[in-house]
Amino acid sequence: MARGLKKTASTTAATLTPNTARCSNTAADAAKPVIFGGAVLANIDWTQPWFAPWRELGEPTAQQALQLQSVAEALNAITDAATREVSAGSGDIASTASVNTIRAGLSLGDAKEVKFVPQSALPDGQAYEDFIFKTGQVPTRDGLHDFFNGLCWHRFPLAKRRLNQLQAAEIEAQGISATRGPVRDALTLFDENVVLMHAPDEVWAALQARDWLKLFVDLREQWQHVHLVLFGHALVEKLITPYKSITGHVYRIANDINPYDEAALDAWLVQDLQAAKLATKPYEPLPVLGVPGWCADNAEWAYYEDTNVFRPKRQIAERLA
């Protein structure tokens, strides 16, 4: 049965070799020169399609981090440049986040610029989210994870502030314990791994049904009308070294929102991100390398027959067993 793609032998999910832990001798380590952890920023291939929306802001910031030997200082430099450019009335890319905030018509007090500080600024025993909420400072390590987190603060300052407010409210109400609770779990998942999707109803329905062949093969032409925003910074970090099973959690953008207008999207998220909604975990899994154009191998129908990655819904799996 023809479905628009050529059928070939099934492929299997790629596997990753886990990092091995190292034991260290404290005295010996103290004598070694300090190695800048952010050196891995040089490994980012900005030509990959998933990095396209991040590139204009991210590539020069990564270069500056490598020069300054500090991710936090490079992220703060974006804020400083934005302040200067807004004051001068320039439309330079470095001022995008601040300009977008103004265009959103929201109170700047609600999106007060955060400052990026070294991880050592976080006091022992204080929750990361609580520290950000109370100080307006984001503890930042020199590496890919916190680099992309900082870029997301610049691209979506209102949404990131909203996530932090909700986290702080949960911490205030529930305290810190071994379990986070449904709202904090959902907030963490959003912050780390969410893909924002604006898509036709038929595409969304196929995603909800986990009907992968319909989603990616039968409806392949409709993907030209799909817009994805990789919001989760851990997800973006994983795509530095892409492998087939990388999966994001999709949060649907309302049909009446222009997903290409990041200021409008940022403002909409502030209103849509509510604790009651997040507690339901309103996400759908998406193996992101299944997105047409994001992997050469997915031009073959069999790519999507790999059930280790493109898993059917439990009910379907039970029926087929």
pLDDT tens for each residue of 77-133: 997 765 555 455 544 443 444 444 433 433 333 456 899 999 999 999 999 999 999
| pLDDT at position 29 over 50 | no
CA distance 184 to 171: 8
For the chain, the first-to-last Cα distance in angstroms comes to 23
pLDDT in tens, 3-28: 445 433 333 333 333 333 333 333 43
- Residue 25 domain-assigned? no
CA distance 238 to 233: 9
CA distance 27 to 30: 5
| pLDDT at position 291 over 90 | yes
* DSSP assignment of 57-109: HHHHHHHHHHHHT-HHHHHHHHHHHHHHHHHHT---GGGHHHHHHHHTT--GG
- Dihedral, 66, 68, 72, 78 alpha carbons, nearest 10: -90
- Residue 171 domain-assigned? yes
Residue 47 identity:
T
- Residue 303 domain-assigned? yes
Q: Quote the domain boundaries for residue 97.
A: 39-320
Structure-token pair, residue 140? 């930042």
- Residue 20 domain-assigned? no
Contact present, 162 and 270 (Cβ < 8 Å): yes
* Confidence class for position 167, pLDDT limits 50, 70, 90: very high
- Mode of pairing for the β-strands spanning 284-287 and 247-252: antiparallel
* Confidence class for position 35, pLDDT limits 50, 70, 90: confident
Mean confidence (pLDDT) of the chain: 83
Q: Report which secondary-structure segment, H or E, holds 235.
A: helix 233-238
- Residue 43 domain-assigned? yes
CA distance 148 to 40: 12
Number of domains in the chain: 1
pLDDT in tens, 225-262: 999 999 999 999 999 999 999 999 999 999 999 999 99
- Residue 267 domain-assigned? yes
**Confidence at residue 92, expressed as pLDDT on a 0 to 100 scale:** 46
CA distance 218 to 73: 47
CA distance 215 to 158: 32
- Residue 85 domain-assigned? yes
Residue 193 identity:
N
CA distance 42 to 10: 35
- Residue 203 domain-assigned? yes
Return the axis-axis angle of helices 182-193 and 157-174, rounded to nearest 10°.
150
